[in-house]
A and B are shown apart, each in its own frame.
Chain A
Amino acid sequence: MKCLICHDEWMPTMSFAMLLTLRQADVCCPRCRARFIRLEGNRCERCSRLIDQAVCEDCIAWEKRKSVLKQNVSVYMYNDWMKEVMNRFKFRGDYALIEAFRHDVRTVFSKHFSSDVCLVPIPLSPSRLAERGFNQAEAIASLLPLPMIFALRRIDDEKQSKKTRRERFTGRKFCITGENVAEKRIVIVDDIYTTGATVHEAAKLLYDAGARDISSFTLVRS
């Protein structure tokens, strides 16, 4: 079959385990697969950053600011390969690449969260959505068989990746749409966690709207 990412032909090896569990063969070839690095080993228990401390400096600072985000869970490390794949997925708009993440996203998610949570994808502004044609956070959330609540709306149009660290912390990016989140357990979904400014702000808004027990889940931790 054709690798989803590099388009080279490759032969998946079939095994009895695959027949018995009806597990699908991987959509990408072993070479491409090996370049994705899953976050494992010593990490900050709050934000998944690879670090030898239990809680990283940034998360201690968030705690001092009384952030209501319980924890962030991410799936992959942000290496050069991931940058390349994210660039093609998000900025070139190759939606089909989402399939390469399905298996790992589901496995990591179910390891950390129970199945009674609701997903809140981080929204795009209408103009950016029209430009890209899809919201990458929603695409990631759609890999999980859980209800989605569109509780947030974007009020600021600038890309996070175009801003400095300081700019990311000042200024509001979202408002509440009015969808009911009261007393619900929420997992905010986004593509990437860098400084955490986006998901922490979203968590605060959802908390003020009555949500309880708020965490976040991102595909990548940079």
Chain B
Amino acid sequence: MYMAGKQLLKSELSFPYDEKYVQVVESIVKTKKGYRCVRCDNEDQQLFASFPCARCGRICTYCRKCIMMGRCSECNPLVIWTGPVPSTSFSSPLKWSGKLSPAQQLASDEVCHAIDRNDSLLVWAVCGAGKTEVLFAGINMALSQGKRVCIAAPRTDVVLELAPRLASVFPSVDMAALYGGSQDRGKLASLTVSTTHQLLRYYRAFDVMIVDEVDAFPYSVDPMLSYAVERARKPTSSLIYLTATPNEQWQSEVKRGKRKAVTIPARYHRRPLPVPTFEWCGNWKKKWRHNRLPSCVVQWVNEHLERNKQAFFFVPYIDFLQQVVPYLQQFHPHIEGVHAEDPKRKEKVLAFRRGQISILVTTTILERGVTVPNIDVAVFGAEQPIFTESALVQIAGRVGRSAQYPTGDIRFFHFGKTKAMLKAKRHIVSMNDEARKRGLIDE
């Protein structure tokens, strides 16, 4: 049963398998355009390469796109499980005594409904709405019905955060946490939390597929990942998407009623989302060439240092970050910078949480997940294309998360308003409006 629900490369198999229940298919196929990788759907010819293969003795073509999951090559076929996938059912495994807000409850009911009917559903919940709790009842029901559940998250850090949380509320359920280098590799559990990449090893395995942060990198830009999700779930299964910032197409599909969705427009603490303010800061690039920052930005920095209020300062590029951090550190040593490839990333974020850093200058990597109470944020160069609507909404979502400090200042310093900035603001305002209408905010 080691193969059940999987698609593995022949070279990965160390045990003999039951041939009755598997199908062996070529992993690299020739198409009109050239080659296609069957495992990851790559058709970009620049991402295929050939080499003199000692295994088949020929010039063998392989896929470079999914190479980190083992090499798919012409002489290394995929072995796909076509037999039955065993199921285990649990009787009400959820051990959680928390209470849902009315909006969460409504969303939770919709999730249950979708899972029960093998439907698809978009849960559109603002940052800090408490999305994870909304899933509990649905997962509980699925596990009671003997369904296999998978939560796919975009990145390893999300898996590492989510897995222990689910393990604590479903203590009796066998779980797998899958990411690059994980101990659970190859496990087929009743409840799986996985990076989307790892799903490339599964085939028609899951009855419930929950995709967290669908709008986030890399899921939003890499078609391989939605392909992996489609192949890993059963043909009859439910598909739940979670996001705070659906893309434009999805937003309009929801409005026109073409996509089933449920919104949670307010935070669990029942206070409105803080709305960003725009502040024109002139041609900052030109100023920076003379080693100067716009005066309104300098003022913002000084104010925060004086009031001793912690803040994130978002900048558009790593290069700029590396120049501006030493410049700001001249004024104050409690300013630090962090970016995606920073080896001290974890330490710096921790130091910020502990209050040892006053202002953390960062690129868009911190737009999600990092939650620190009582902070402000500023976006510098908010007109730059990297700051999309969803990035800006996520950034604004860092502020006012805790019930104790539900407000805060969000400032977009810009050299000309962009559509993305306006849409982001409109997005937040309309969420607040809907919440008011539904009576989800106390004012």
Q: Say whether A and B bind each other.
A: yes
Instruction: Show the binding face of A for B, using Cβ within 8 Å.
Output: 2, 7, 80, 88, 92-96, 129-135, 139
| With known contacts A2-B46, A131-B11, A88–B68 Cβ distance under 8 A | yes
Out of B52, B54, B70, name the residue touching A130 (CB < 8 Å).
B54
Contact assessment for A134 and B54 in the assembled complex, using a CB-CB cutoff below 8 Å: yes
Shortest Cβ distance from residue A35 to the other chain B in the assembled complex, whole angstroms: 10
Contact with A along B53-64 (1 / 0, CB 8 A): 111000010101
B13 CB-CB contact with A under 8 Å? no
CA of A20 to CA of B11 in the docked complex: distance in angstroms? 47
Query: Does the CB pair A129–B67 fall under 8 Å?
Result: no
Inter-subunit contact A134/B52 (CB<8 Å): yes
| Contacts across chains A and B counted by CB atoms under 8 Å | 41
Q: A133-B71, A133-B73 are in contact. Are A96 and B55 (CB under 8 A)?
A: no
Instruction: Determine the chain A residues whose CB is within 8 A of the CB of B62 once the complex forms.
Output: 93, 95
Contacts A7-B47, A92-B67, A129-B54 known; 4 new A-B pairs at CB < 8 A: A96-B49, A133-B60, A134-B54, A139-B51
B residues with a Cβ closer than 8 A to A are 11, 46-47, 49, 51-55, 60, 62, 64, 67-68, 70-71, 73, 343
Cβ–Cβ contact A133 & B54, under 8 A? yes
B68 and A96 form a contact (CB under 8 A):
no
The complex places the Cα of A94 from the Cα of B70 at a distance, in Å, of: 9
| CB pair B71 A92 closer than 8 Å | yes
Q: Is A93 a contact partner of B55 (Cβ separation < 8 A)?
A: no
> When chains A and B are docked, how far (Å) is the Cα of A95 from the Cα of B61?
10
**Shortest distance from the beta carbon of A81 to any chain B beta carbon, whole Å:** 10
> Given A88, A96, A134, which contacts B53 in the complex, CB threshold below 8 Å?
A134
Whether the Cβ atoms of A135 and B49 lie closer than 8 Å is: no
Max chain A C-beta neighbours (<10 A), residue from B52, B54, B60, B67: B54
Closest to A1 in B: B46
* Contact A94-B67, Cβ < 8 Å, known A133-B51, A133-B54: yes
Give the distance in Å from the alpha carbon of A7 to the alpha carbon of B65 in the complex.
Answer: 9
Interchain CA distance A135-B54 in the complex, whole Å: 8
CA distance A152 to B83 in the complex (A): 47
Q: Which residues of A contact B343 (CB under 8 A)?
A: 80
The one of B49, B51, B55, B68 in contact with A92, judged by C-beta atoms closer than 8 angstroms, is B68
| Nearest neighbor of B68 in chain A, beta-carbon distance | A92
Q: Which A residues are in CB contact (< 8 Å) with B46?
A: 2
Q: Which residues of B contact A94 (CB under 8 A)?
A: 49, 64, 67, 71
Complex contacts, A7 vs chain B, CB 8 Å: 47
Q: Considering the complex of A and B, which 8 residue pairs feature the smallest CB-CB distances, nearest first?
A: A96-B49, A95-B51, A93-B71, A94-B67, A133-B53, A129-B54, A133-B55, A2-B46
Q: Is the CB of A93 within 8 A of B54?
A: no
Q: Please indicate the chain B residues that have their CB under 8 angstroms from the CB of A92 in the complex.
A: 67-68, 70-71
Query: Smallest CB-CB separation from A124: which chain B residue?
Result: B54
Kindly state the separation between the CA atoms of A110 and B429 in the bound complex, as whole angstroms: 66
CA A96 – CA B63 in complex, angstroms? 10
Task: Check B54–A96 contact: CB distance below 8 A.
Answer: no
Residues on the A chain within 8 Å of B68, using CB: 88, 92
**A130 touching B55 by the CB < 8 A rule?**
yes
Chain A residue numbers with a CB within 8 Å of B60 are: 133
Most buried by B among A95, A129, A131, A132: A95
Q: How far is the CB of A133 from chain B (nearest CB, A)?
A: 5
The reply to whether B11 and A96 contact each other, CB–CB distance below 8 Å, is no
**Bound form: Cα–Cα A95–B71 in Å:** 10
Please indicate the chain A residues that have their CB under 8 angstroms from the CB of B47 in the complex: 2, 7
With A94-B64, A96-B64 in contact, do A134 and B11 touch (Cβ < 8 Å)? no
